[in-house]
Amino acid sequence: MDKRGFTLIEIIIMIVMAGILLPAIIVPFVTAVRGSGKPEIVTRAMYLGQQRMEELMKYNYGNAALGVTGIGVFIPFSTGDPDYTGQYEIVYVNANLVTRLTSVGYKRIDVRVTDPEGTTYDIYSLVTDFP
């Protein structure tokens, strides 16, 4: 007899193997597709934080705009991104970046941006009073 085809046992084994292998292949693919929008969100948040940092860094150490503050809030509405929120803080620090109550010639600027998903991004910079 020269009959071609698959037996019932071969078909059942193939279905069981497909049931085991397909999730192992599909889960990483779905995870990658789900996270594919994240780089754009991260880039946008970092851009907004860097933009605020540049606004603050244009001032000299003694300028009132760089006065030591509590946590200030900025909302980047001017860029069309009301879903991103931001905070900044300016504090005195010493040469080891430890927070101080009085000036020793260094100020640290902390800018923090929160994206629509709730992830926070921090940017730090140091301003000195030395020539």
Q: Are β-strands 85-93 and 106-114 bridged in parallel, bridged antiparallel, or unpaired?
A: antiparallel
pTM greater than the 0.85 cutoff: no
Q: Over the stretch 67-123, which tens digit does the pLDDT of each residue have? A: 887 777 766 545 556 788 888 889 999 988 898 888 888 999 999 998 888 889 999
Angle in degrees, CA 62, 107, 76, rounded to 5 = 90
Work out the widest C-alpha separation in the chain, in whole angstroms. Answer: 98
What are the sequence ranges of the domains in the chain? 39-128
Answer yes or no: is pLDDT of 17 > 90.
Answer: yes
Average pLDDT in the 4-22 region? Answer: 90
Answer yes or no: is pLDDT of 14 > 90.
Answer: yes
